[in-house]
Structures are given as structure tokens and as C-alpha cells.
Amino acid sequence: MRELNKVLSIILFLHLVCITLASCQGKKSLEPDETNPPGTSDGNGGYLFAHMTNAAYGHLFYSVSRDGLKWETLNKGNVIVSDYRGHPDICQGADGNYYMIGVRGDNAPLLTLYYSSDLITWSRKDLARSVFDVSHLGQQNEGYYVGAPKMFYDETSKQYIITWHASFPGLKDQAWWEGMRTCYVLTSDFETFTPAERLFNFTGADENMATIDAIIRKVDNTYYAIIKDERWPEKNPNGKTVRVATSPNLIGPYSNPGPPISPAWREAPIIVKSMDDKSWFLYVENYGEHLYELYKANSLTGSMWSKVDFTPPVARHGFIIKVNEKQYQDIVKAYK
């Protein structure tokens, strides 16, 4: 009997030890994992959205997403780079650094190059006003924002193309916007630049098409120009929509743009691949309501894309770039 009681005591003791260990492990699992910032999922990185807001137009904000559908604005909704002004657009160069164009000055604006190795710390270099002179084209740049410049690095030619839109002197109001044409310069080092030229030479019904917010992307051996048709809908059925033109060469000639891939009254297009690389995401700003919409398709050409329900950040004009897991976590850590 004494031996039986001894065995039962040992069993009870071991049972209590197991309960205690399980309880401790359960409590530990509820503690935050300090090695992973909020939002960490499968370790495949995510998206960084550099954008401005309607309340702080022209300033730089960051939002992040794992899937392109649910977004979180970083830095408690505060500005990321205090002296940045512009319509954010980022490209990565051959040297691995990231480049972004901004603007400076009120009366005589010029463009400013921002560069960063990690998308966190940005340095700045002003570019000469003469680089973006379009007077020899008979055109005139916008005031402060110099036509919302965009950037793309072409690995084939080892050059950066900077695009922006300019109109014609003497035009006002609606006519000013109907006069918009996309201009560009090329550079390989941000020291020397080609003279500004017009990028598109459309024909037929699109011959005098006004264009703004043009971005260039390359897929396989084709260059895609995603542009906003800046004509008015009552004058042309494609007016105020986003359309796509193609070319085998960086600076064209580009085909006449295809049918709209967005509804009317949309602009500031952003094109990025889905995380599984199977689809294209098209983000466009519904500028009447000051919010972004998302559309999805399997290719960059074709008719209207299918609209996707998503949770956008509070954002206006911007750019979305895929980042790897380390970059995602470093950015979140820096601005959380």
C-alpha cells in the first residue's frame, strides 16, 4: 500500500509539471515576436507605395502591403522626407540604388534627383533647369510641378528615361490641358542629358491626342507606355481614360494607344505584377473622389480590366514597387 501511494505521488507530481510547462509555453506564444515586424507573412516581401495625399499634396508618404490589397500607412501618417515635393516615382538603377524625381522652387521650378540605397535614407541633387527646357519644341512646362515627371531605367540601353508633360504657351484652363504632350530626356549618369524631345507621334484619330502621366515599362522585348488620354470625353470617347501604347524601342515610335483599360476620369496609373507574378495590377486614381482604384488583368494589353475590391491607403499620385523580405521589414521598422 505504501509503495502504491508512492507511485501515485510520483505520477501526480509529473502531471503537475506537465501542466506548468504547457501553461508557460502557451503564455510565451502570446508574446510578440520582436524579430518580425507586424504584417510578416510568408517571407516573400511585399509592396511599398510612395505617394502623396490630398491634404498634403506633393509631399511624400509611405504605405506597405503584403498582397497589394490591404495597405497600412507608415510613420503614423506623417511625411517621410521633409523636403521632398513632387509626384513620387521610383526606379532602381544598374548600381542597385533607387532614384526618385522631385521638384524645387516656386517661380522658376527645377527638378531634383533623390537617391537611396535602401528606400529609407534619401539624398538629393538638383538638376539644371536647362535639362528640361522645351522652348525649342514650341512648348511650355507646367509651373511648380514641371509636368509630373516619371522615371524608368532601361537595362538594354543602360539609360534612364525621364518623362513629363508640357503644353503650349498662351493656352489657359481646358485648352491648357488639351495642349499637353509627353516629353522626355535620356541620361546614363544624371550628369549629361539628351535634349528634350516629344515621345509620341500618334496618327489618325489620336494624332493630336493630349497625354499626361506617362510611365514606361518593359516586358520581354516590348516597351509599354501607360498613359492618360487627356482629351475631354465629350470630344473623344477615350478622353480622360488610361490607355497603353507599345514599341520595340525605348523612345519609339510607339503604336497608337489601344482601347481604354480604365473608366473615364482616372489618371496617375501604376503598373505592378501580383505577388505570384501571374497577373498585372493597375492602380489608377479616381481624382474626382481623391482615391485609388485597383484593376487586374493577365496582360498589359486588351480592353477594360476587371475591378478588384481592396483597401486603399489615403493616397493620391504615387508609385508602387515590390520589395524583398529584408527591405520590407527594414522599412516597416524604420517608420513603424
Could you give the CA distance from residue 129 to residue 158 in angstroms, rounded to a whole number? 23
pLDDT tens by residue, 308-322: 999 999 999 999 999
Q: What share of the chain is helix, strand, coil (3-state, %, to 5)?
A: 15, 35, 50
What pLDDT is attached to residue 110? 86
Q: Is residue 27 included in any domain, yes or no? A: no
Closest of 263, 109, 234, 133 to residue 174, by C-alpha: 234
What pLDDT is attached to residue 118? 98
Q: Is residue 16 included in any domain, yes or no? A: no
What pLDDT is attached to residue 105? 76
Residues belonging to the chain: 336
Q: Where is pLDDT greater, at 143 or 161?
A: 161
Residue 201 has φ and ψ, to the nearest 5°, of: -135, 65
Look at residue 101 and tell me whether its pLDDT is greater than 70: yes
Question: Cell digits for 266?
Answer: 482616372
DSSP-assigned letters across all residues of 270-314: EEEE-TTSSSEEEEEEETTTTEEEEEEESSSSSSPPEEE--B--S
Q: Is residue 38 included in any domain, yes or no? A: no
Q: Is residue 220 included in any domain, yes or no? A: yes
Q: Is residue 137 included in any domain, yes or no? A: yes
Q: What is the dihedral of CA 125, 126, 130, 133, to 10 degrees?
A: 100
pLDDT tens by residue, 247-270: 999 999 999 999 999 999 999 999
Q: Where is pLDDT greater, at 258 or 110?
A: 258
Q: Is residue 18 included in any domain, yes or no? A: no
Q: Is residue 169 included in any domain, yes or no? A: yes
Domain residues for the domain of 67 are 46-335
What pLDDT is attached to residue 211? 98
Q: Residues 241-245: what's their mean pLDDT?
A: 97
Return the CATH number at 197. Answer: 2.115.10.20
Look at residue 302 and tell me whether its pLDDT is greater than 80: no
Q: Residues 280-306: what's their mean pLDDT?
A: 92
User: Would you place residue 212 in the very low, low, confident or very high pLDDT band (cuts 50, 70, 90)?
Assistant: very high
Number of domain units in the chain:
1
Q: Is residue 149 included in any domain, yes or no? A: yes
Question: Cell digits for 284?
Answer: 489608377
Look at residue 87 and tell me whether its pLDDT is greater than 50: yes
User: Would you place residue 40 in the very low, low, confident or very high pLDDT band (cuts 50, 70, 90)?
Assistant: low
Q: What is the pTM of this model?
A: 0.87
